[in-house]
Amino acid sequence: MPRWPVATAVALLMLAACVRSQPFTSIATGAAVSWSGIPNPTNADVIALYVQAPGTTVDTLAPLKFQWANRSPGYDQGSGSITFQVLNQRYPTFFVYFSNIQSNGVSNSYTSNKVIAVSKPIAITPNEPTQGHLSFTNITGQVVVQWTTRDVGTPVAQVGTASGTYTQTAAAVTNTYPRSEMVGPPANSFGYFDPGSLHYATLTGLAPNTQYFYRYGDSALALFSPEYSFTTPPLPAASASVKWLAWADAGQAVADGTNEYDYYDDYDELNSSPYGTDQQAYESAFDTWEIEQASDLGFVTQWDVYFEQYKPIYTLLPVMTLPGNHERDAPATGDRYYPLEKKTDSGGEAGFPYELRLKMPTPTQRSEWYSFNHGPVHFIQTSTEQPFGAGSPQWQFVVNDLQTVDRSVTPWVIVLF
């Protein structure tokens, strides 16, 4: 539990979080928090959700999300209740009542001297597999399953052609990123807490035009995700046909209307498309840039929200991504705009979380460009945020790639940037 000023200990009785001690793993899961006995309530009082991650306190970590207490009737009498939707973010979470916060969520003005009360923690299952998503490699018949847990454990993905019967088990490799790899705030300050263990399991030898059922998790703990399915594309051939989705600048939002840091789009709008389409008709999807798109980034919690929000798509369709300025741009990190423009649009992330959370078949981790075949199409994915002028590594990659395309097999060449 983070250390709080002694003066707040008496106030703990003022706040009672009415929640169940069980995992919260869905955007649809709600936790009702109620409070009473708040002295001198103001129109700027806030209820905020925090995570009990190692090495964090209210003074060093931004809230996961927050809501103005005045949304609840009776707040001006010192009592009320609000429902939050709570995700499993690898560590227990708890609510904090702050008095008179003069902030719109852009800076960390949530400090311990404004704490009135703290709730009991909400228990979670730390190694429940969350944030599942799929991608292709540049080898036909392969799909990568990616997910997150707190600890490394014994991560595997299991797959088969019949529901509930898994004939292949693929061991995962695991990575993460420490605060020290972030190059600026808020990514290396109040936006950071342990992002957990990021797992990647490559399924190989998959047959074309075949529906596969799969799950991912920890074989030693016997703790797995629900079963999902995907359909492999046809073999590369001029006569093949594929359907795919492409979008950009989609952003993210939270369904409960809370003011998550850098809240961007309306959740209902995001939820209306492509959720209402015939998902089984598509073999792949392309989130081409601006993965987290918001005014500023650098918050681990935004990645957690992003993957849970898009999980209904990302667990069904392999998604091939490209970075934009909000994932990549930071001075002196290979950003093509530096030194002419000292952009800090990534909030200090400089592409590191993007590269590790969305494993693409790039030449190296920091070279965010690649190509792959998909039915009759040869896709070339380029990065607008890194140098692509004549003679640059990215330019040379594209030139070499185009020279090797067999147009008799993949007559379509599509470049995304």
Closest CA to 113 of 210, 7, 254: 7
- Please give the full DSSP string across 287-320, using - where no structure is assigned: E-S-SS-SS----HHHHHHHHHHHHHHHTTS-EE
CB 361 within 8 A of CB 396: no
Phi-psi group of 329: left, alpha or beta (phi > 0 → left; psi -120 to 50 → alpha; rest → beta): beta
Residue 135: CA count within 13 A, CB half-sphere: 23
Confidence of residue 329 (pLDDT cuts 50, 70, 90): confident
Higher pLDDT, 78 or 8: 78
**Looking at the structure, do residues 178 and 207 belong to the same domain, yes or no?**
yes
Confidence of residue 267 (pLDDT cuts 50, 70, 90): very low
End position of a domain, from candidates 97, 118, 139: 118
For residue 85, pLDDT beyond 70? yes
If one counts every other C-beta atom within 10 angstroms of the C-beta of residue 296, the result is 17
Closest CA to 32 of 83, 86, 73, 85: 83
Distance CA 340, CA 50 (A): 38
Distance CA 350, CA 184 (A): 9
Tell me which residue range forms the domain holding 343: 130-364
**Looking at the structure, do residues 217 and 69 belong to the same domain, yes or no?**
no
Residues written for the chain = 417
Give the pLDDT mean for 404-409: 97
Higher pLDDT, 27 or 321: 321
Q: What pLDDT, on the 0 to 100 scale, is given for residue 285?
A: 57
Q: What pLDDT, on the 0 to 100 scale, is given for residue 388?
A: 92
Residue 380 is assigned to a structural domain of this protein:
no
End position of a domain, from candidates 64, 92, 118: 118
**Looking at the structure, do residues 303 and 234 belong to the same domain, yes or no?**
yes
**Looking at the structure, do residues 325 and 208 belong to the same domain, yes or no?**
yes
End position of a domain, from candidates 96, 118, 140: 118
CB 416 within 8 A of CB 286: yes
For residue 293, pLDDT beyond 70? no
Q: Is the peptide bond before 339 cis (omega within 30 degrees of 0)?
A: yes
**Looking at the structure, do residues 213 and 250 belong to the same domain, yes or no?**
yes
Encode burial over 67-95: b for 16+ CB neighbours within 10 A, e otherwise.
bbbeebeebeebbbbbbbbbbbbbbbbbb
Distance CA 131, CA 146 (A): 8
Q: What pLDDT, on the 0 to 100 scale, is given for residue 374?
A: 94
**Looking at the structure, do residues 190 and 142 belong to the same domain, yes or no?**
yes
C-alpha pair distances (Å), 29 with each of 84, 142, 308, 314, 401:
8, 34, 12, 20, 46
Residue 406 is assigned to a structural domain of this protein:
no
If one counts every other C-beta atom within 10 angstroms of the C-beta of residue 47, the result is 29
**Looking at the structure, do residues 256 and 323 belong to the same domain, yes or no?**
yes
**Looking at the structure, do residues 270 and 134 belong to the same domain, yes or no?**
yes
Give the pLDDT mean for 190-206: 97
Residue 78 is assigned to a structural domain of this protein:
yes
Domain CATH for 236:
2.60.40.380
Q: What pLDDT, on the 0 to 100 scale, is given for residue 61?
A: 92
**Looking at the structure, do residues 182 and 320 belong to the same domain, yes or no?**
yes
Residue 138 is assigned to a structural domain of this protein:
yes
Give the pLDDT mean for 313-320: 93
Q: What pLDDT, on the 0 to 100 scale, is given for residue 103?
A: 62
**Looking at the structure, do residues 135 and 268 belong to the same domain, yes or no?**
yes
For residue 203, pLDDT beyond 80? yes
- Which H or E element spans position 408? none
**Looking at the structure, do residues 239 and 357 belong to the same domain, yes or no?**
yes
Q: What pLDDT, on the 0 to 100 scale, is given for residue 20?
A: 30
Residue 80 is assigned to a structural domain of this protein:
yes
For residue 292, pLDDT beyond 50? no
Paired with 343 in beta bridges are none
Higher pLDDT, 220 or 105: 220
Domain CATH for 12:
2.60.40
Residue 272 is assigned to a structural domain of this protein:
yes
Residue 252 is assigned to a structural domain of this protein:
yes
Q: What pLDDT, on the 0 to 100 scale, is given for residue 21?
A: 30
Distance CA 322, CA 286 (A): 8
- Phi then psi dihedrals of residue 51, to 5 deg: -115, 140
pLDDT (tens digit, 9 = 90+) per residue, 144-162? Answer: 999 999 999 999 999 999 9
For residue 296, pLDDT beyond 80? no
Task: Report the mean per-residue pLDDT for the chain.
Answer: 84
**Looking at the structure, do residues 318 and 189 belong to the same domain, yes or no?**
yes
Q: Into how many domains does the chain fold?
A: 2
Give the pLDDT mean for 236-258: 83
For residue 127, pLDDT beyond 80? yes
Residue 373 is assigned to a structural domain of this protein:
no
Amino acid, res. 416 = L
Give the pLDDT mean for 298-314: 91
For residue 340, pLDDT beyond 60? yes
In the chain, the percentage of residues whose pLDDT exceeds 90 is 59
